[in-house]
Structure 1
Amino acid sequence: MNGHSSEKTSINMTWRIIGIFGGGLAVLFVLFILSLGFGEAKIPAGTVMKGLLNRQDVMEHNLLWDIRMPRTVIGILAGAALAAAGALLQTITKNPLASSDTLGINAGAYFMVVLGMVAFPALQHQFPFVLAAAGGLLAAIVAYLLSGGKTATPVRLALSGMIVSMVLGAFTSALFIFNKTETQNLFLWGSGSLIQLNWDGVQYAWPFVLVLLGVSVFAGRQFDALELDESTARSLGQRVGLTRAVGLGISVLMAAIVVSVVGPIGFVGLVAPHLVRLGGIHKHRLLIPASALWGALLITAADTLARAVRSSVGEMPVGAVMAIIGAPWLIWLVLTRMKNISGSGPGQSSMSIGGVALRMRFIPTAIFMSVLLIVIILVSLSLGGTRIPIGDLLSSLVQRGDDSYSVLLNLRLPRTLVAAAGGIALAISGVLIQSAVRNPLADASIIGVTSGAGFGALIVLFAWPAMTVIALPIAAMAGGALAAAFVFFLAWRRGLNPSVLILLGIAISAIASAGIQVMIVKASIWSGNSLIWITGSTYGRGWNQFYSLLIFLLILLPVAYYLGRKIDLLAFGDESSVGLGLPVRGTRLWAMIIGVLLAAGAVSSVGTIGFLGLIAPHAVRMMIGHHTRRSIILSGLLGGLLLVIADTVGRTIMAPKEIPSGLIIMLIGAPYFLFLMYRSLVKKG
């Protein structure tokens, strides 16, 4: 009986292998022909076949071989490399969410290529792969170590990779804004583009990809051993550390090659290996080539779809199409396949990040920070292209227009107050969201609100540019609210589990970010204010934005303060909170709703400013410990203070040229946030 069952299993496995490889190759061949046929000028399938079998010196055949064939082939190579890298990374980290994009490898390689174009153009031109590999390797090591290494949970690894990507994205944005001439052509490439003008990219990439794939397949048995418990693998004579290092090196090199030629493309390394594993293949000598095959299939399908469904603004970048395909896959994976996601893992159940709170007295601290905020606002009003002495400034503010500086103040005062109000809203939003998901490394950008709001605002900037004053805040709030509502809806059946919320937020952020990339690239708004707004800016803000923010704060802050005591109980964990009589799901939902509304209102006025909702609550928690009501007040004051300082520095340090406030916050917040990740890791250890 057992022999019969074993034989039946073996037959089933054989058919599965035939289906995965044979079916995959058949579908890839069809997509290959379709890819060659679609474009500005469609080529019938019959003409494509004739051109492949017997090339003639006619326009269709030349177009086929010189333009479309390199694009299709580089897509196949890129998909194969990214998928194989994802399969290896998932094995090395024993984490189903590992891939070159979730570990920050793509972002690291992208940053180094852009930096090379600006600072080392000769080196970048001769050795683009070297810079990309260095950036990818460094990003992967940082993300892996910050997540806790071998003990990392899937959520923590995904969050660490996202944070590293955000940090590198901040520096990449700085390079774009300060070097528009040198980097303008890289923005489309940064969205993931397979466009090739000749065979150079293919000739550069194919030897590396094939050799690395061959090495990884040859070392398949060593990678199989990593699936075992580490002590068991060592007892079998396996050199686990060396195997991990080799696997990481191969993965980084493959991802770096892809990024250096076609830009960062996400989700391929996440989706393709899972599809193959669902088919029952787990041995690496089959898993790696099968993943490579289905990765090639996925990118070819995405690129063909991008060219087949052309809008009035042209085709979408393939990276954006893959995000739209891959993000729903991540959502499905989180909701159906990852049954044991825990909301009480390291860095989730505790709002501490390590270290001892300074235990500063609340009332003196609040008074000091309030006075400091007023002083900084006055200093900000006095600085700029035309400096206003403090005495004349106070006189002009009191006399309301009698002084010669009144016109200037009518420009600076509302802008500075918008910065203060926006900082207050973002910081308090961070307090509420971190408390609701019980994760000190979460804010509006983590659960998709910031990207959703930015996407909504860009739709207005693109479709109705004359209506931006009225429609922009509404669209931003609607986009942020819709993104959050979708995340809450999907996570509701899982009890609004904090880990589920974060992973779903990452997926929704990817979709919204793909939409933002498409509009910036295709709507020809690179040279306008849209990129600056997306980075976060207080430029040109007036009384209308201040009044709308003030209304938000007057309505929502009392509600947030009222919820403070209930939110404090969430820190004890779900079971303990229920035992204390707290309606956990309802409290978490209300905290998230208020936090989302505050963030969306701020984004509608000051753009997509990241890190502020992360920095301020952490700094306050280090000052006074965990106390939600006091954190709301002090975090708000600190957030306002930081954004006013960023606004002042941005418009004075390189005057008359302005640096977006959000960029300054990101450049300050990025190193600080990496420090927080390190502190939480030390606490965990």
Structure 2
Amino acid sequence: MKKALTLPVAFVAMIVLAVLSVRAGAVSVSFRDIGAIMLQQDSPFQFIVVHVRLPRVVVAILAGSGLAVGGVILQSLVRNPLASPDVIGMTKGAGFAAAAVIYLFPGSPGYVLPAAAFAGALGAFGLLALLSRRLSLSPAALALVGIAVGAVFQAGIQYLIVRHPADLNMALLWLSGSLWGRGWADALSLLPWLAVLLPVAWLNSAKLDIFRLGDETGASLGIGVVRQRFWLMLLAVALAGISVSAVGAIGFVGLLAPHIARSLVGGRHRLLMPLALLIGADLMLLGDGIGRIVAIPREVPVGIMAAVIGAPYFVYLLRKERRLGR
């Protein structure tokens, strides 16, 4: 019964956080004005709500969902609780490729940015997979090598900053991960991709349950282990890359959301995945909301707030895995 309540509770939390996110900021909007705007009544805050804060909320929900589900898939395939798009360097790879498009090809069509982010995430994971196979890494060591891979791509972003100092503000937003200035165009660029990828991920819940049991079990049940792992890994890479293309290299959402969801409902992916999706959206909204009110009239990027929340938890996981001898 408690497990059945987690999804509606997480959904209600997302709605509450979304409303509070629309309300909070340098200019506070009352609940009465928000209600009036939703009912298409006149309000002096209509532009702020409709064209500034609502698209920002939608982008936060979509990107947080994509990063969280990508984390679920990676942790299940690698059977490593420390795996997530940001920890193993995928978000940094996607961020580097997207930043390269922004700096080097500023006039590119809108569809080029998500494609570049996907390619960057795929390149980061390919590099990590090559290193892990050659070095026969343990789960904890895999996470540490992933951090090193991410640092390489981070250095690439910093190189772009040095070469293009006129775009420093944009670069800093990419480095920290931010929802500042996100509009309906960003939301619409995310929506069609995630509308396809998230249902596909959920439809593969049973396969992910089997992968957590080991390759031998999967092979004995007639699953093409290598082929299915490849396609599911591409799915995780796509989710991370598309999300990063809209919000920058935000860390720890893909690590925290699956762990919180797993502690509440266990490891069955049919329930774990939608709960992690909602928790990922909640974390993004929470981080963005706190970041906008902690230093008014300035704002702290959501990527920094996510790191403040997630870094201590990551250290805890490392210590836990070390105690277990993994």
* TM-score normalised per structure 2: 0.89
Q: Is the 8 A contact 2:3 2:264 kept in 1?
A: no
Give the structure 2 partner of residue 668 of structure 1. Answer: 309
Counterparts of 1:234-313 in structure 2, within 5 Å, are none
**CA offset at residue 545 of structure 1?**
1.1
Q: Given the alignment, which residue of 395, 402, 408 partners 2:42?
A: 402
- More divergent stretch after superposition (657-666 vs 386-395): 386-395
Gaps of 5+ in 1: 1-359
CA distance in structure 1 between the partners assigned to 2:44 and 2:215 by the alignment: 60
Give the structure 2 partner of residue 559 of structure 1. Answer: 200
**CA offset at residue 361 of structure 1?**
2.8
Give the structure 2 partner of residue 320 of structure 1. Answer: none
Give the structure 2 partner of residue 386 of structure 1. Answer: 27
Q: Given the alignment, which residue of 76, 85, 89 partners 1:448?
A: 89
Counterparts of 1:467-546 in structure 2, within 5 Å, are 467=108, 471-485=112-126, 487=128, 490=130, 505=146, 508-524=149-165, 527-546=168-187
CA distance in structure 1 between the partners assigned to 2:67 and 2:210 by the alignment: 23
Secondary structure of the 1:582 match is coil
Q: Is the 8 A contact 1:567 1:588 kept in 2?
A: no
Counterparts of 1:113-152 in structure 2, within 5 Å, are none
Q: Is the 8 A contact 1:438 1:498 kept in 2?
A: no
- More divergent stretch after superposition (594-603 vs 461-470): 461-470
Counterparts of 1:591-630 in structure 2, within 5 Å, are 591-630=232-271
Q: Given the alignment, which residue of 67, 70, 89 partners 1:426?
A: 67
Q: Is the 8 A contact 2:211 2:218 kept in 1?
A: yes
- Does 2:290 match 1:649? yes
**CA offset at residue 498 of structure 1?**
8.3
Secondary structure of the 1:572 match is coil
Q: Which amino acid in 1 is paired with 2:277?
A: G
What per-residue deviation string (whole Å, max 9, x for no partner) do you get for residues 360-411 of structure 1?
7332110111111111101110111221111220121121x63322111121
- Does 2:269 match 1:634? no
Q: Is the 8 A contact 2:161 2:168 kept in 1?
A: no
CA distance in structure 2 between the partners assigned to 1:548 and 1:515 by the alignment: 25
CA distance 1:447–1:417, shift in 2 (3 Å): same
Secondary structure of the 1:528 match is helix
Counterparts of 1:192-211 in structure 2, within 5 Å, are none
CA distance in structure 2 between the partners assigned to 1:498 and 1:450 by the alignment: 22
* TM-score normalised per structure 1: 0.44
CA distance in structure 2 between the partners assigned to 1:436 and 1:659 by the alignment: 34
Give the structure 2 partner of residue 439 of structure 1. Answer: 80
- Does 2:103 match 1:462? yes
RMSD of aligned Cα (Å): 2.7
What per-residue deviation string (whole Å, max 9, x for no partner) do you get for residues 556-578 of structure 1?
11111111111111122222332
Per chain length, whose mean CA-contact separation is higher, i.e. which structure has more relative contact order (CA < 8 Å, sep 6+)?
2
Q: Is the 8 A contact 1:437 1:501 kept in 2?
A: no
CA distance in structure 1 between the partners assigned to 2:64 and 2:154 by the alignment: 23
CA distance in structure 2 between the partners assigned to 1:503 and 1:679 by the alignment: 15
**CA offset at residue 679 of structure 1?**
2.9
Counterparts of 1:223-242 in structure 2, within 5 Å, are none
Q: Is the 8 A contact 1:423 1:642 kept in 2?
A: yes
What per-residue deviation string (whole Å, max 9, x for no partner) do you get for residues 463-513 of structure 1?
23455866443432332233335555x48988x998697687556434423
Give the structure 2 partner of residue 588 of structure 1. Answer: 229
CA distance in structure 2 between the partners assigned to 1:367 and 1:468 by the alignment: 39
Q: Which amino acid in 2 is paired with 1:408?
A: I
CA distance 1:639–1:493, shift in 2 (3 Å): closer
Q: Which amino acid in 1 is paired with 2:178?
A: S
CA distance in structure 1 between the partners assigned to 2:168 and 2:132 by the alignment: 42
What per-residue deviation string (whole Å, max 9, x for no partner) do you get for residues 439-472 of structure 1?
0101112443212111112212322345586644
- Does 2:213 match 1:576? no
Paired residues, what number? 323
Give the structure 2 partner of residue 679 of structure 1. Answer: 320
Q: Which amino acid in 1 is paired with 2:84?
A: D
Secondary structure of the 1:529 match is helix
Counterparts of 1:83-162 in structure 2, within 5 Å, are none
**Which has the greater radius of gyration?**
1
- More divergent stretch after superposition (588-597 vs 612-621): 588-597
Q: Which amino acid in 2 is paired with 1:630?
A: L
Q: Is the 8 A contact 1:453 1:477 kept in 2?
A: yes
CA distance in structure 2 between the partners assigned to 1:482 and 1:383 by the alignment: 38
